[in-house]
Each structure stands twice: as C-alpha cells, then as structure tokens.
Amino acid sequence: MWQARGVLLVAVAVASVVPDGAGAMAAGRCTTSTPVKAYDKCIALPTQGATLAWTYDARNATLDAAFTGSFISPSGWVAWGVNADAPVMTGARVLAAFSDPSTGALLALPFVLSPDVKIQASPLVSRPLDIPLLASSASLLAPARTVRDGARVTIAATIRLSPNRTRIHFVWNRGLYVQGYSPTIHPTDASDLASHATVDILTTATEASPIASTALQWLHGSLNALSWGLLLPVGAAVARYLRPCASTGPAWFYAHAAIQATGYTMGAAGFALGLVMGAASPGVTYRLHRGLGIAAATAGSLQTLAVFFRPKTTNRYRKYWKSYHHLVGYGCVVVGVVNVFQGFEVMGLGASYWKLGYCLALATLIGACVALEVNAWVVFCRRQQEEKLTRREVEDVVVKDRAAAF
C-alpha cells in the first residue's frame, strides 16, 4: 500500500486547547470541521465513540486525516493508525497521544505494533515509522485543558499513499496507563477488540467487524451463569448429600438426573450462543474464557455420554466408572464456576450487582454444602461408633457362650 519506505521521524506535538466551537464534535457524531482544519469527508467509527475526518488528494495520493477519540483516565492514552495488510492491530503503524510524564504536555509519538507487543513479550517503545508520514499533531478539545477521563483528543496526520489504493485499514484504541513513555495494554471488552475498520476514502464505505448484540451477550451470560454456575453444582450436591439418606429412596437419583439434564441443556445452549457470537465477531477473542468454556462443555458432554455406559451395580468395573464420574463431574463444576467469574470480567461486570448477586447465591450453596458435609461426617462417625459398640457386644456374647459351654 505504501509508495515509499523511507524512515521519517515524527515530531512531538505539544498540547493545544481548541476553541469552544470545536466542541461540536460530539462523541460518535462526525463533522468535517475539526480543531486542526476543515476536511472533505467524515465518518463515525463503530466503537468507542470515535470519529474520523479526512481529505484525499488524488493528484499526489496524499491523505490528510484527523481522528478524534476520548481518554478513559488521566494517565491514559489514545492511539490511532493504519495497517497496510489487514484491519488488525498486529503490524499497524500508529500515533499514540498521552501526557508527557515530565512536563504534562500532550505528546503524539509513533509506535509499531509488532507481534511481540501483542503477546506482551516486550514493552511498547516509540520508534520512527517506516511509512511516508508527512506531518502529525495532537490537540485536546475544549473544555478540556489537560488529559482526564472523558477528555476528547484529535490526532491529525498527513500520509502519502500508493496511487489508486483508496481502501485503508484503520485501527484505534485507548488505555488506562502509560509507563514512562510506553502505553500499557488496553481493556479487552468486545468494543475494544473490535476497534478497527476498512474505509474507502473516496466513497466513505466502511467495513467493520460486527459486534454481538447486547441482548445476545446477556442471554449467553444468563444461561451459562444459571447452568454451569448454579444448576450443575446444585445437582452435584443433591447426589452427594441426599444419596446416603435411606428415607429418600431413589428420589435422589431422579432429582440429580433432572437437575443435571436441565443444567447441561441450558449450558449447551449458552455455549452454542458463545460460538455464534465468536463467529459473528472476527478478531474479538477471549482466549481464557473460550478455553474454560470448551473445557466445561467437553466435561459436561463426557458426563452425559457416560450415563449410557454405566455398568450394573454387580459389575466389577462399576467402581472405576464411579471414580471417573465423580472426578469429571466435580471438575466440570469447578471449571464452570471459574468461567462464570471470567465471564463477568469479559462483560465488564466485575464490580456490578449482578456479580454480587451471583456471589451471594454461590456462597449460600457453598454454606449449605459445608453444613451438610459436617453433618454427613458426624453421622458417619456416629454410625462407625455404633457399629463398633455392636461388634463388641456381639463378641462379648460369643465369649460368654463359649465360656458357658466349657
């Protein structure tokens, strides 16, 4: 895409405060009038309330663009750039705006997002870009005079493109902290991971990664929290603590089977929704959450299949099947509960009342299990003592009978 490969140093841009009239650029509403200059075209980018305005000069293949985004913390950063190969972060050349740790002035420094940066194998260090960047600057929008949460910033750049190549891959994002002059990793919400788009700068046609609807996310989360996070643990507790009660008869088994079947069905539906959302949101990946979900779904499926191969009580392999059933079942419960908490973090509900409510429900279940476990051990020890006394009485009677016989 790039016509030249010469290394160009990018100047540090000192912060400037724009007039109040420039504040017309509201979050998510684009305008061709920016603090830097007036442009020909503009679009509202699909995430983070960001906008992009530009003028393209076809005669010399020059793109004059201004990206506007918002900070999410006083010590945060906002970045925008281009990728010559694909609409992804890896391989992108970006400009990051943040406060100078020494002077407090606003900087716009160049960065190359190599694969090492994505896996956090090395810190992000500013270096000259290997693209024909002709000019760059960064400025805060009034009324903000310093970087703060919600402050809007415009990053402007002039880039020379290859002739007749008008479909440009743009990427952008924002983060909470800057360590020295190195921006740290950005949040991993769905909107953050989907902050990239391909724009035709002649027609303004935009191709962006779709994001799963909020309703679908909530349905996915609700099904999985109820199934993997509550019903399956309850079903496991029913089997463990009701089975020893002779008064329940086979009722414990039917209750256990019904609860687990319902929980697995709901969990499978929630897992399927997760796959649908993943397929509909390319580039948005939660590796830990996905891995735990696959592990829980696999364990649940194995448990379901194992029911059809359960040996009879008189079969010598029955004890091995029971050990397998207990091990995989408890493992599935633990992984499922852990993944529910991971899901809260993915949805940005780590400090919400929804998580608090789930924690209270789970704590109630754990408390009941602890009480039942203590009671089971008390009953077990009491029975052992009674059986021991009974054996002694029987032995005493036998000894007396033998003595009387002699």
Binding site per annotation, positions: 220, 256, 289, 325
3-state secondary structure (DSSP) of residue 63: strand
Residues belonging to the binding site for heme b are 220, 256, 289, 325
Q: Enumerate residues 6+ apart whose C-beta is below 8 A from 47.
A: 191, 192, 194, 195, 208, 211
Token digits for 327?
């091990």
Token digits for 38?
């007036």
Give me the amino acid identity at 263: G
Give strand pairing partners of 140.
17, 153
Dist. CA 261–CA 239, nearest whole Å: 13
Task: Please check whether residue 357 is in contact with residue 221, taking contact to mean a CB–CB distance below 8 angstroms.
Answer: no
DSSP 164: T
3-state secondary structure (DSSP) of residue 42: strand
The distance of Cα 390 from the centroid of its chain, to the nearest Å, equals: 60
Instruction: Give me the residue label for tokens 């929980």.
Output: 263
DSSP 156: E
Dist. CA 280–CA 196, nearest whole Å: 15
Count the Cβ atoms, other than its own, within 10 Å of residue 179.
11
Distance set, CA 146 to CA 19, 54, 72, 106, 343 (Å): 14, 25, 13, 8, 35
Give strand pairing partners of 153.
69, 140
Count the Cβ atoms, other than its own, within 10 Å of residue 30.
19
3-state secondary structure (DSSP) of residue 64: strand
Token digits for 363?
């704590």
Q: Enumerate residues 6+ apart whose C-beta is below 8 A from 305.
A: none
Task: Please check whether residue 83 is in contact with residue 173, taking contact to mean a CB–CB distance below 8 angstroms.
Answer: no
3-state secondary structure (DSSP) of residue 287: helix
Among 159, 171, 155, 156, CA closest to 132: 159
Among 135, 139, 129, CA closest to 157: 135
